Amino acid sequence: MSGGHDSLALGLLSQRSGTDEGHLMFKRVLIANRGEIALRVQRTCRELGVETVAVYSEADRDALHVRNADSAVCIGPGPALESYLVIDKIIEAAKQTGAEAIHPGYGFLSENADFADACDAAGITFIGPPGSAMQAMGDKVSARKLMEAAGVPVVPGANDIDFNDLETARREADRIGFPLMVKASAGGGGRGIRLVETAEGLEEGMRQAGSEAQSSFGNATIFLEKYVNPARHIEVQIMADAHGNVRAFGERECSIQRRHQKVLEEAPSIAVTPELRQRLCDAAVAAALSCGYRNAGTVEFLMEDSGEFYFLEMNARLQVEHPVTELVYGVDLVALQLAVADDEALPLQDGPLEPRGWSIEARINGENAYENFAPSLGLVEHVESPMGPGTRFDTMLFDGLDIPPFYDSLLGKLIVWAETRELAVERLRRALDDLLIVGIHTNVPFHLQLLQHPDFRSGAFHTGWLEESFTMPAPPEDDSREQTALIAAAIAASLVGNATPTNSNGSSSTKWMRATREHSIGLKVQSGGGGWRHGIASS
């Protein structure tokens, strides 16, 4: 099923160990990102014997991805616009440390064609698609035209409309029909999108989408698209090499969304048959071939209940939800990224890949599920990660981490694998129950409620289901057990903080560690506790 891909990773290991003296892959890779994705890339590099370079902002000086790297370079202040988004600083860090390649992770500069081109100009391998493919797929109007030419079905719509050209928009809207979506050509991440249900709302929808697109992406061009509802969000993971080979690794179900943002993903999809899977994969491969794509990418589709599907967009990078594909297809996608970036050819494939078992990923965000998912930042006092069969927790968290306010709310991803979907749901519930994060709010209570909902369990959901049909219940009342646990935690922390502990080398603990403990105790006293398990204030 996936042995060819596993053997490729093993081949890379043998090359790095010197058994193949004719070719060595990268010795040092810079990871132009932070948080859990930087740690994820580091782990594969370490397995392959590749050294890693971390870049970090001043706010991330104590982050795990900095501690775990072989070398690290500070690239500026906390705001991403002054650090993680500054191309020149990252290129200079790569030159300074002798990194031969740069892995962009996801977010930040991962889909920035100028960054990919800058790497090429500096003689540094960009572990991702070429800038030309990014440009073709990054502009949604351009991508729609490419897909139409390649025979990939697209949602009926109208391209290249100036958001001030109301007359043209009204004419095209009458042709498409209401309701429809107004979308930014250069949009992404849920920005620059408006649902327009009637002709009377078209002007306002265009103004809002165009204005948001201009401020977020510097491009106010919009397009109109038929509103496909209800619809599922189905995406296909692809990998393409420089030798004309493209492989599709099945579909992921990403329909559980809030405000156009994914919150839970699974593979495979309960709504996809083997025959439909093949059609989706064939369309994804055609999409990649249409633009000379290389490396990892994801082709996203909207799918109706009938099984008809339409191209939505292509993400020219590794996705947040890539682990569910790794678990059901037995593949390390980061290892494949490194391989094809190093000019390796993808192995031959004997027939279509078939998923084995079921995997579900819950995004763990710093937000209060009981307060309309308001952001929650601050000191993480204590973390206990779930363990057990088929359980994986990709996270940036550790005891004493002070979460900076400059970045998104993603703290980690809890992923499970099991033989069936039913068992995977129960395994994820158990793992969520085992996950303990003290000091900030997280969305764990939301996930626990979601997994119990009969619509989710039966698979009767779509992209609008969460906002239309799901209601977060009231928070649980604090009980004596929670209060007792908080008091015990505070006493334990106090005793540790007053002692003079030593590390394995016999040296005293640092002032920073003691200050962290004292700060934790102060927070508990001031706020009535940081919360426990999945009550109001811990998760």
pLDDT per residue over 500-518, tens digit each? 444 444 443 343 344 344 4
- The yes-or-no answer on residue 430 being catalytic is no
Structure tokens at 234: 């189905």
Q: At how many degrees (to 10) do helices 113-121 and 87-97 cross?
A: 30
Is a pLDDT exceeding 70 seen at residue 527?
A: no
> What is the mean pLDDT of the segment spanning 221-231?
90
pLDDT digit string, tens, across residues 76-134: 999 999 999 999 999 999 999 999 999 999 999 999 999 999 999 999 999 999 999 99
Q: How confident is the model at residue 470 (pLDDT cuts 50, 70, 90)?
A: very high
Residue 533 reports pLDDT greater than 50: no
What local confidence, expressed as pLDDT, does residue 389 receive?
A: 96
Question: Quick check: helix, strand or coil at residue 264?
Answer: strand
For residue 495, what pLDDT band results from cuts at 50, 70 and 90?
A: low
pLDDT of amino acid 467: 94
Say if CB 54 and CB 73 are below 8 A apart: yes
Rounded-to-integer distance, Cα 380 and Cα 366, Å = 10
CA atoms of 115 and 317, how far apart (whole Å): 13
pLDDT at 164: 85
User: What phi, psi does 309 have (nearest 5°)?
Assistant: -135, 155
Check: CB of residue 300 under 8 Å from CB of residue 283: no
Whole-prediction pTM value?
0.84
Strands 402-403 and 382-384: unpaired
The answer to whether 534 and 444 have CB atoms below 8 angstroms apart is: yes
pLDDT class of 481 with cuts at 50, 70, 90: very low
Q: Are 107 and 324 in contact (CB under 8 A)?
A: no
Which has more confidence, 66 or 497? 66
Q: What is the pLDDT of residue 394?
A: 98
pLDDT for residue 391 is more than 90: yes
Gap between the Cα atoms of 68 and 396, Å rounded:
11
Confidence of residue 339 (pLDDT cuts 50, 70, 90): very high
Higher-scoring residue by pLDDT: 110, 138: 110
- Within a 13 Å sphere around the CA of 178, how many CA atoms are in the beta-carbon half? 14
**Residue 491: pLDDT band with limits 50, 70, 90:** low
User: Would you call 242 helix, strand, or coil by DSSP?
Assistant: coil
Fill in the DSSP letter of residue 260. Answer: T
Average pLDDT, the chain: 86
Mean pLDDT lowest among 50-54, 109-113, 167-171, 486-490? 486-490
* pLDDT score of 292: 94
pLDDT of residue 20: 46
Predicted pLDDT at 219: 78
Instruction: Encode pLDDT of 398-434 as tens digits.
Output: 999 999 999 999 999 999 999 999 999 999 999 999 9
Q: What are the structure tokens assigned to 390, written together?
A: 């088929």
What are the CA-CA distances from residue 152 to residues 15, 90, 160, 180, 284 (Å)? Answer: 39, 37, 19, 21, 8
Alpha-carbon distance of 154 to 260, in angstroms, equals 19
Q: How far is CA 94 from CA 18, 42, 63, 159, 219, in A?
A: 25, 16, 19, 39, 30
Which one from 317, 363, 392, 421 is the annotated catalytic residue?
317
The single-letter DSSP state of residue 95 is H
Confidence of residue 221 (pLDDT cuts 50, 70, 90): confident
For residues 258-280, give the mean pLDDT. 96
Q: Is 211 exposed, middle or buried (0-12, 13-18, 19+ CB in 10 A)?
A: middle
Q: Which residues contact 153 (CB under 8 A, 6 or more apart)?
A: 147, 283, 308, 309, 310, 311
**Vertex 116 angle, CA 162 and 301, to 5°:** 55
Question: CA nearest 378: which of 519, 244, 505?
Answer: 519
Token representation of residue 19: 């058994």
pLDDT mean over 390-396 = 98
Per-residue pLDDT, averaged over 140-151, amounts to 90
pLDDT in tens, 283-294: 999 999 999 999
Residue 163's pLDDT is 81
- The phi and psi torsions of 73 (rounded to 5 degrees) equal -130, 125
Per-residue pLDDT, 161: 86
Whole-angstrom distance, CA of residue 279 vs CA of residue 65: 39
The pLDDT of 363-370, averaged and rounded, is 97
Residue whose token pair is 């109109």:
224
* Residue 43 pLDDT: 98
Phi, psi angles (nearest 5°) of residue 195: -90, 125
- pLDDT of the residue at 103: 98
Q: CA nearest 294: which of 325, 319, 317?
A: 317
pLDDT bucket at 486, cuts 50 / 70 / 90? low
Is 209 a residue whose pLDDT tops 60? yes
Please give the radius of gyration of the chain, using alpha carbons only, rounded to the nearest integer. Answer: 24
Q: Are 296 and 336 in contact (CB under 8 A)?
A: yes
Residue with tokens 């501690």: 67
